[in-house]
Structure 1
Amino acid sequence: MLLESLLILSCCRAVAADPLVEIDGAFHRAYAEARAGALAAQGPVLVVSGDSLLLYRGRVRVAEAVIRSPRYHRLKGLAHVPLAIRLSAGNPERLAALRGWVAALEPGAGALREASLAFLDGGGDASGLDRYCAGMEGPLEALAREAAGLELEALEKAVGAWRRDLLAADWDRVRVVVIGSHMAREGEVGWQFFTRLLGEPGEGGRLVFAEEKWDPAEALKLLATHAVDGDLGRAFFGDPGRMHRDVLAPGAKKWLDSHPIPR
């Protein structure tokens, strides 16, 4: 009798199961399988990751090139001098330590070194902080221009060599993932380089930005996600980029346009 009751209860539960819950589960399983298939099938991928440019075939790294040289990092260190001073304002001990480190820089550090020493020797007075920072605009921009040029030259050299020696037969299938931080996303150096090289107007075709995906494996997975979502967007909306935006975005805009939010 007990067994019969359990069987009846089990059948009732099966009948009562929400079909939409089952469908949703099936969708997520199918999506994961589709992404795994896209990851396995994708052609050569270039990954801009920190100091390196990486070349993958499938999930295997087959080549690596350094794109940020010691000179690049020295320029970055110099650029951090005025930023560190700004952020240390009001901390006499830290400013004193910075003064010693700035004094030890080579004379080639130029105007940045001299202006920083002058400010620190004056006691790092808060009243002159904004004036000091404004005076650093020129030196900072010069350092940034040189650093950008060094990275771009290294990218051009590495990509040119790989395109000739490793990718001649399938260059048109190459896709690119640029890994970077949220704050540096707009105008990121590698992103600018590859948008021009590939003739890509933005993200979603052969070029993807992997924000904060510091593990290249995660960046490759994101690239596969773009491939799956591109197919879905093309099939249902005639727009391969449609699923790269919040699917609720048009509805949200329409609602907000018809329901002004009081300020």
Structure 2
Amino acid sequence: MQTYRGQKSAIISVRARDGVSIDAYLACPEGMGPFPAVVLVHHLPGWTDYYIETTRRFAHHGYLAICPNLFQRAGDGTPDDCAARVRAQGGVADDEVIDDLELFVGWVRGNKLSNGKVGLFGSCSGGRHSFLYACKREDVDACADLWGGRVVMAPNELSQKTPIAPIDLTEKLSCPLIGIFGNEDRAPSPGEVHIHESELRRFGKDFEFHRYDGAGHGFFYWHRPLYRPEQAMDGWEKILTFFKTNLTR
């Protein structure tokens, strides 16, 4: 795929059906397109600089990319304030995240610069939410789950906010899936990844999982000691190839 050294970016606000306005960071290549689109689903630390920079990274590679602040409903303050409030409350409800993501999937698909195809990209809790969305909705064309934990959940881990284990919805997965995992991770553990992979295979889903030795949780995060450059760059190459295959043809 062609890279775009010139790009445009902005913070936009989109109003949800209940009247709440949700901010999002939007980045797109210079030009009239049409471009494939990616909705980035941020992790539990929130709407962080990592996700803002990663949104621009997708624009560099030719995508209309958008990352909504999925914690904005937690109240006023900076993105860090909202994220701290959400963590103190035990996270956000799955249904709330799915509804807000649906808003942005529809917004970006209908954008005049879009080619009509949309992928999801999420890591950690965002990887879980990306997979969950692709199982509960049928309006995305590809899904990237980076080390999404709590896809496999024991009955005692379910709650009002997370009432169903995503793995129990595997049969309803509606698009191709790529999974990126570190073999030193504990959430998800290699055993949980194996269970997830077995369920995808059992239902005949279109997926590819890539597991990396010497890498644990968050090994793409270049601002953290978790970063593993060789494994991360190989993982990025696989994700970009996967999206090119499913979003540009």
Q: Give the TM-score range, shorter chain.
A: 0.3 to 0.5
**Bigger share in strand:** 2
Q: Greater relative contact order: 1 or 2 (C-alpha under 8 angstroms, separation 6 or more)? A: 1
TM-score (norm. length: structure 1):
0.33
Q: Which has the larger Rg? A: 1
| TM-score (ref. length: structure 2) | 0.34
The structure whose residues are more often helix, as a share, is 1
